[in-house]
Amino acid sequence: MSSQESGREKEIIELDEARLQGQAEIWRYMFSFADSMALKSAVELRIADIIHSHGVAITLSQIASCINGCLTSPDITTLARIMRLLVRRKIFTVHHPLDGGDPLYDLTHSSRWLLHDSEQTLAPMVLMENHPWLIAPWHCFSQCVKEGGIAFKKAHGREIWDLTSGNPEFNKLFNDGLASTSKVVTSAILSGYKQGLSSIESLVDVGGGIGGLISEIVKAYPHIKGVNFDLPHVVLAAPAYNEISHVGGDMFHVIPNANAVIMKWVLHDWGDEDCIKILKNCRKAIPRENGKVIIVEVVVKAEGSGVFDDMGFIFDLLMIAHSSGGKERTEVEWKKILEEGGFSRYKIIDIPALPSIIEAYPDDQ
């Protein structure tokens, strides 16, 4: 065989391998929802909690015996098949004893994030995001491309806030999901932004809900005078915290004065024009000499290879599914709205969580 023929045969083999790999990837993406559903079932069955409560690796029979709410004996065969996938996805681990005994299942660094009673858990978010009502808008993406409009409204005939307000059970599921992620991100802010917080004398949390973030910041930095700012009906439900003032209002009108403003996962809910309005009000609320705005948001990185970078693209689609015009932004997109909002200087600070901190300074500083 000539070198030309050999080279041609190699090209054909490589092309066949690429086509096969391409087919395999489409199969994988086609059924990627299976990972979510297996994960959801593990959370619903509290499998991580059951293993954790034993303190050691346990068998499927032991797991099954601790599952609550069964009308009959749990189907161990079905459980085994679900666990087989979750082990392959490294959510759990399995050990096969040398003596031929039953396989023993244990937690991994991933499944520890599924513990319901842990201070740092994503279990409520798993249940929330995989609820049928929140899955439905994802089926409307192509319709949104063709017609425009809001995916959630196309799926349900109303926006997400209308659905939560009329369904107490779903509202609790929704609030629990958001609260769990808030705790995770708050912990990351406190550990990854110490220098940025230590120099602040007063801080207003815009869109602070019932005060979870600002209360934790002030607890860690008692010298900070904290203001929790949200809509009047929201702050009415906020508990009392030491050194925290709850202020009701509208961020599109005026924001309370402070040395610094913090906004966690607020701006991604809004389009550029609305974000610029909010930023201009932040600019008015802080001193020009040493004021700053602390924005806790995802920064989408087109070529990013960091541990959370892939999620930036997914969260951007999540905004299509669940928001009314929000989006995740690249650094270029953040720079544009910051400049138009009066903040031409900024720096991006990585913290150990999905979002980053964008620390922005007024133009005349």
CATH of the domain at 70: 1.10.10.10
Q: Are β-strands 202-206 and 260-264 bridged in parallel, bridged antiparallel, or unpaired?
A: parallel
Do 253 and 134 lie in a common domain? yes
Total domains, the chain: 2
Do 210 and 64 lie in a common domain? no
pLDDT number for residue 234: 87
pLDDT number for residue 3: 67
The CATH number assigned to the domain holding 205 equals 3.40.50.150
Do 255 and 325 lie in a common domain? yes
Do 208 and 309 lie in a common domain? yes
pLDDT number for residue 13: 83
Do 89 and 229 lie in a common domain? no
Do 19 and 164 lie in a common domain? no
Q: Which of 96, 113, 130 is the last residue of a domain?
A: 113
Reported as a single tens digit per residue, the pLDDT across 102-123 is 999 999 999 999 999 999 999 9
Do 101 and 128 lie in a common domain? no
pLDDT number for residue 193: 97
pLDDT number for residue 256: 98
Do 337 and 190 lie in a common domain? yes
Q: Which of 80, 113, 146 is the last residue of a domain?
A: 113
pLDDT number for residue 9: 79
Do 140 and 277 lie in a common domain? yes
Planar angle of CA 183, 184, 188, nearest 5 degrees: 110
Residues of the chain predicted below pLDDT 50: none
Q: Which two tokens stand for residue 217?
A: 């910041």
Look up the pTM and report it: 0.90
Which domain does 346 fall in, by range? Answer: 122-361
Is 268 catalytic? The answer is yes
Smallest Cα–Cα separation from 294: which of 207, 357, 213?
357
Do 33 and 172 lie in a common domain? no
Do 128 and 91 lie in a common domain? no
Asked if 343 contacts 283 with a C-beta cutoff of 8 angstroms, the reply is yes
Do 97 and 127 lie in a common domain? no
The residue annotated as part of the active site, out of 52, 109, 246, 268, is: 268
10 Å Cβ neighbour count for 284? 11
